[in-house]
Chain A
């Protein structure tokens, strides 16, 4: 069996299902939850919240800044042009290019981190299109045969549960 899961009409029943799975000895990382919107009002919606994305964005910004300074330095020194008596490497105008590339670095680093850490572009073993209609999916992937009955009991206990196995 690939997975067992249930669909719930609201966050309350989904939370109950998650809590019952915990009580049945299922680890957090073995429980799959899917919803059509963020569910931060419930405890299960707070899973996997910790992220390095902010620091990675700062790293991207630093790379962007270094690239801008390097580009400006290289180009201006390679072909020195006297512009209105400004120094060949003039800080004030170069700050503009530096600022833009710093921000671009932060933005690109953020997007790359999102794609990689949210595992976008990868197939999932379990999904139900009814999630798009507002149902909340709670399930366990690759359960052992002996555990299925217990999981079914835990998943079907909350009201409105729609149990499925694939």
Chain B
């Protein structure tokens, strides 16, 4: 049964207007983990990079793995939401905001890692495109400067893409709240009234931004892949890295979205809004991306194998049957076997099945990033540059705490913004009149006037 407008308001505003003790418990636990990570980071700044496992020749370890992983997860939201908006998929309505929020927070977390990795984060502004006192501009031919532009463009676009459709919902909260909360939401609602002009402008803006954000999202992960493929390192310099990274990013993004939706559905009792069909549709997308991921991995491996270049083959065998083999095959099971079985067989394509497959994909994609970075850096062209990487507690705590940070940000967001777009849900339920074609409408109008 379709919920009424007032029931939609009541259900979706409940988390904002009522706070249970469970909220404080969850916030305290995740905040404690984030604080532990901050203390670890401070200790790294104080004692230096020596307390981490990052040393020559493996300069990129858990931090860059997490950077690439979170930028990938960010593709859950804005990209998927923009595509679903452009094709006007009706089932997207309860899903889009859950997804867009993941993008913004994942980008913020991902963008932290280059700063953590700097060692001296107070000099992060050296990355920015401005002339320094020695008149040395950042090198625009460096992929790291491309990252700066791409991530900032995507973050700005995603923030606005998330914020704009929230304005009408802020107006609903404004009308339903009192006191200080009302004053805050009055400011956030920007005087929204819901006139036809405002709706048209909002929808036009969303359409333009959806068109603009799709290529930006694709470019972001392509550029992140350039950080690797522009470097002469075994198994990195590959033309397939751009699309391979983009596919992997969308893949992990969908997995992240499915997990978030399942948790929200259960915790906030959103069963009336997030239906099994939403999970099934996204599950099918997950299956498609798993096949695509398998295709890219097969391409990458087969071409390397046929090339038979010694330094590349050394990395190839390290990952497939030597020291990194357990991680490699765990990745294959998580990214390919598990989603193929669970999402390919209809009876397993349930909410639980989607969550299990998604957890496998999240683990698998993190391992994929790790396996791209570490085995290659530890086994370059000449024996003098061979080395091993052993992650240290500081890196493990910081990398692990990012999951707590993501959860914490999500929980706080759900407390201040309706996690399902109220107006889009109502617009989806809106029943058009008989003969909704413009000409039919004019005819009915003439009948009224007559």
B140 at the interface (CB under 8 A from A): yes
Question: What is the interface of chain B mostly: helix, strand, loop, or mixed?
Answer: helix
Asked whether, in the complex, the Cβ of A132 is within 8 Å of the Cβ of B436, the reply is no
Asked whether, in the complex, the Cβ of B208 is within 8 Å of the Cβ of A83, the reply is no
B195 at the interface (CB under 8 A from A): yes
Asked whether, in the complex, the Cβ of A118 is within 8 Å of the Cβ of B423, the reply is no
Asked whether, in the complex, the Cβ of B208 is within 8 Å of the Cβ of A35, the reply is no
Question: For B213, what are the chain A residues with a Cβ–Cβ distance below 8 Å?
Answer: 103, 107
Contact with A along B200-214 (1 / 0, CB 8 A): 111111001100110
Chain B's interface size range is 35 or more
Question: For A106, what are the chain B residues with a Cβ–Cβ distance below 8 Å?
Answer: 208, 212
**Please, which residue of chain B has its CB at the minimum distance from the CB of A49?**
B200
Q: Give A36 to B6 CA distance when docked, in angstroms.
A: 11
CB distance from A84 to the nearest CB of B (A): 8
Chain A's interface size range is 35 or more
Contact with B along A67-109 (1 / 0, CB 8 A): 0000110011011010110100010011011011101101110
Q: Give A36 to B441 CA distance when docked, in angstroms.
A: 21
Stretch at the interface among B118-126, B186-194, B258-266: B186-194
Name the one of B142, B190, B441 contacting A121, with C-beta atoms under 8 angstroms: B190
Question: For A54, what are the chain B residues with a Cβ–Cβ distance below 8 Å?
Answer: 204, 208
Question: For B152, what are the chain A residues with a Cβ–Cβ distance below 8 Å?
Answer: 104
Question: What is the interface of chain A mostly: helix, strand, loop, or mixed?
Answer: helix
Name the one of B4, B197, B208 contacting A48, with C-beta atoms under 8 angstroms: B197
B98 at the interface (CB under 8 A from A): no
B22 at the interface (CB under 8 A from A): no
Asked whether, in the complex, the Cβ of B140 is within 8 Å of the Cβ of A37, the reply is no
Q: Give A53 to B157 CA distance when docked, in angstroms.
A: 17
Chain B, 165-209, CB within 8 A of any chain A CB: 167-168, 171-172, 175-176, 190-205, 208-209
Asked whether, in the complex, the Cβ of A37 is within 8 Å of the Cβ of B430, the reply is yes
**Please, which residue of chain A has its CB at the minimum distance from the CB of B196?**
A47
Q: Give A56 to B145 CA distance when docked, in angstroms.
A: 28
Asked whether, in the complex, the Cβ of B149 is within 8 Å of the Cβ of A53, the reply is no
Asked whether, in the complex, the Cβ of A78 is within 8 Å of the Cβ of B137, the reply is yes
**Quick one: which of A57, A123, A132 has the most chain B CB within 10 A?**
A132
Question: For B219, what are the chain A residues with a Cβ–Cβ distance below 8 Å?
Answer: 96, 99-100
CB distance from B75 to the nearest CB of A (A): 16
Interface residues of B (CB under 8 A from A): 4-6, 9, 129, 131, 135-142, 145-146, 149-150, 152-153, 156-157, 160, 164, 167-168, 171-172, 175-176, 190-205, 208-209, 212-213, 215-216, 219, 223, 423-424, 426-427, 430, 432-433, 436, 438, 441-442, 444-445, 448-449
